Amino acid sequence: MALQLYNTSGRRKEAFEPIDPANVRMYVCGPTVYDFAHIGNARPVIVFDVLFRLLRRRYGDAHVRYVRNITDIDDKINAAAKANGEDIRTLTERTAKAFHEDVAALGCLPPTVEPRATEHIGPIIKMIETLIASEHAYRAEGHVLFSVASDPEYGKFSGRSRDEMIAGARVEVAPYKKDPGDFVLWKPSPPDLPGWESPWGRGRPGWHIECSAMSEAHLGETFDIHGGGLDLIFPHHENEIAQSTCAHGGKQFAHYWLHNGFVTVDGEKMAKSAGNFRTIRDVLNDAPGEAARYAMLMSHYRDPLDWTGERLEQAKHTLDRFYLALRDAPASAGGGMSPEFEAALDDDLNTPLALAALHELLNELNKATTDADKARLAGELRASAAILGLLQRDPNAWLKGPTDEAAEIEALIVQRLDARKAKNFAEADRIRTELAIRGIVLEDKPGGKTEWRRAV
RNA sequence: GGCCGGAUGGCAGAGUGGCUAUGCAGAGGACUGCAAAUCCUCGUACAGCGGUUCGAUUCCGCUUCCGGCCUCCA
């Protein structure tokens, strides 16, 4: 079955067909690096990582080009640097590094290219010049603005008319704008803030133009998939489309637009003022990244997701069950995705249904009686889960966790086995309880062997 | 005010015009010295009101409630 994706442009599922049948190009809006990333930022990174992995499986690793930018020039960055008394460059480097560590812990592959806005000032200026030359942009008091009136298609993507936008505008309109909807492509920058020389004086780019310029630089004028959070539909993506199509003589920008839903925490929108701001770091403190990833994939990417401690616990517990089965299965070579699993992902990345398919495999694996069946099912389970970025670790590493007391635990287990052989069950239970208090769970396997793992 | 998306069992969460996923928690059973893990069985949910239909949780309309966006935002 062919991959179906829900296209925000048109608001329906469509069969995915890349422009070049052999190569896929995808752009996803990345983070603005001014602070630690929160759990809401993690969602698009994980969701599009799953899509990246699925596309790589289909088209080959070398045939999927995934670009995710880093916005390292922005008002919030300037403000945060000032508040910290930190150099701007130091702040963005530090924050970008933290972001990389966080998403790596969540099991996300690095994108093919990770362009930075500050490294694309040349292409940005060039694109703005093109827009001015074709009268889609104009200069006003040191700024360069995009003229929404010059683009009859403006507003179509996000489904709003210009009248509505004006009527609904809740922000004071700068007096130099010809139209209240016009947005900044370039703005002046004072000497104490980052800026670049340009035909319009020293300044810096607006947020929207960065993505248009960087996607063109790394994917060309037209590419296949553009992703991001739901909140970016307007104005960010609407503006990107306007800039890129107008700069490219009306050529279509991205063919498929994918947007992930929002994450709330304990039922409420995350806000520092509400005290429910949850960074990826906070979450990684409570659980392994793989559990957080599983918890994220429990909901369909377009639906809202409420992040709770209970959800994370459940994810952790469920992964224990999978790794328990994998631990006891014979080593398996390769294997493919299960058909049910593949069909679920093909249907607009239905990860909850895909996880259900994984549970079917788990159940079969637990019931399998021959080594051949076990190896086959374990292989299929791992090969399927790999697309979700799950179940790729060594089961014992997952179940036992980092520990330097393994030898001591093993010794106690031997003592307990001796006691059991002597039918001294009181002593055997005493040792088991002692370990339980330390968070160690024992499992007596058939054949007199005892396994241990860390309790959830 | 405008535009969009939701409402499913104790919780999480798919899906479907009739055969009513999956996981967690819970109950009973098998296995076990007892456990743990695993397996088996069980609970019969689709916000409300109308309409279409032989039949609607699924399609249509209205109502209520919730969330997102309306130039900071994943």
Phi, psi angle pair for A304, to nearest 5°? -65, 150
Is A267 a member of any domain? no
Residue finishing a domain among A396, A413, A434: A396
Q: Are residues A164 and A38 in the same domain?
A: yes
Is A442 a member of any domain? yes
Residue given tokens 């279509």 in the structure block: A252
What is this model's ipTM? 0.94
- Confidence at residue A166, expressed as pLDDT on a 0 to 100 scale: 55
Question: What's the length of chain A?
Answer: 456
Q: Are residues A422 and A385 in the same domain?
A: no
* Distance, CA of A395 to CA of A319 (rounded, Å): 10
Q: Are residues A382 and A427 in the same domain?
A: no
- Confidence at residue A83, expressed as pLDDT on a 0 to 100 scale: 92
Output the six-digit token pair for A347. Answer: 């249907």
- Confidence at residue A455, expressed as pLDDT on a 0 to 100 scale: 84
Q: Is the CB of A317 under 7 A from strand B?
A: yes
* Distance, CA of A137 to CA of A212 (rounded, Å): 15
Is A133 a member of any domain? yes
Q: Are residues A382 and A414 in the same domain?
A: no
Could you list the pLDDT tens digit for every one of the 456 residues in chain A?
589 999 998 888 999 999 999 999 999 999 999 999 999 999 999 999 999 999 999 999 999 999 999 999 999 999 999 999 999 999 999 999 999 999 999 999 999 999 999 999 999 999 999 999 999 999 998 899 999 999 999 988 988 766 655 544 445 567 888 888 899 999 999 999 999 999 999 999 999 999 999 999 999 999 999 999 998 999 999 999 999 999 999 999 999 999 999 898 887 777 766 677 889 999 999 999 999 999 999 999 999 899 999 999 999 999 999 999 999 999 877 789 999 999 999 999 999 999 999 999 999 999 999 999 999 999 999 999 999 999 999 999 999 988 788 999 999 999 999 999 999 999 999 999 999 999 999 999 988 899 999 986
Q: Are residues A180 and A322 in the same domain?
A: no
Which structural domain, as residue segments, surrounds residue A359? 284-297+306-396
Number of domains into which chain A is organized: 3
Is A273 a member of any domain? no
Phi, psi angle pair for A213, to nearest 5°? -70, -40
* Distance, CA of A415 to CA of A431 (rounded, Å): 8
- Confidence at residue A167, expressed as pLDDT on a 0 to 100 scale: 47
- Confidence at residue A82, expressed as pLDDT on a 0 to 100 scale: 92
Which residues from the 157-176 window of protein chain A have CB within 7 angstroms of nucleic acid chain B? 158-160, 164-171, 173
Distances (CA, A) of A81 to A32, A43, A75: 13, 26, 10
CATH number of the domain encompassing residue A316: 1.20.120.640
Q: Are residues A210 and A359 in the same domain?
A: no
Distances (CA, A) of A98 to A46, A72, A93, A279: 16, 14, 9, 11
- Confidence at residue A86, expressed as pLDDT on a 0 to 100 scale: 93
Q: Are residues A56 and A99 in the same domain?
A: yes
Angle at which helices A289-297 and A351-367 pack, to 10 degrees?
110
Evaluate whether A210 touches A183 at the Cβ level (below 8 Å).
no
Which residues from the 424-443 window of protein chain A have CB within 7 angstroms of nucleic acid chain B? 425, 428-429, 432, 441-443
Is A289 a member of any domain? yes
- Confidence at residue A175, expressed as pLDDT on a 0 to 100 scale: 80
Phi, psi angle pair for A109, to nearest 5°? -70, 150
Q: Are residues A343 and A418 in the same domain?
A: no
Q: Are residues A121 and A53 in the same domain?
A: yes
Nearest to A13 by CA among A2, A24, A21, A25: A2
pLDDT tens-place string over residues A12-29: 899 999 999 999 999 999
Q: Are residues A253 and A352 in the same domain?
A: no
Q: Are residues A356 and A332 in the same domain?
A: yes
Which residues from the 359-378 window of protein chain A have CB within 7 angstroms of nucleic acid chain B? 359-360, 362-363, 366-367
Q: Are residues A245 and A365 in the same domain?
A: no
* Distance, CA of A388 to CA of A83 (rounded, Å): 39
Nearest to A75 by CA among A124, A35, A34: A34
Output the six-digit token pair for A323. Answer: 């790794």
Is A279 a member of any domain? no
Is A268 a member of any domain? no
pLDDT tens-place string over residues A88-115: 999 999 999 999 999 999 999 999 999 9
Closest residue (CA to C1') to nucleotide B36 in the complex: A443
Is A278 a member of any domain? no
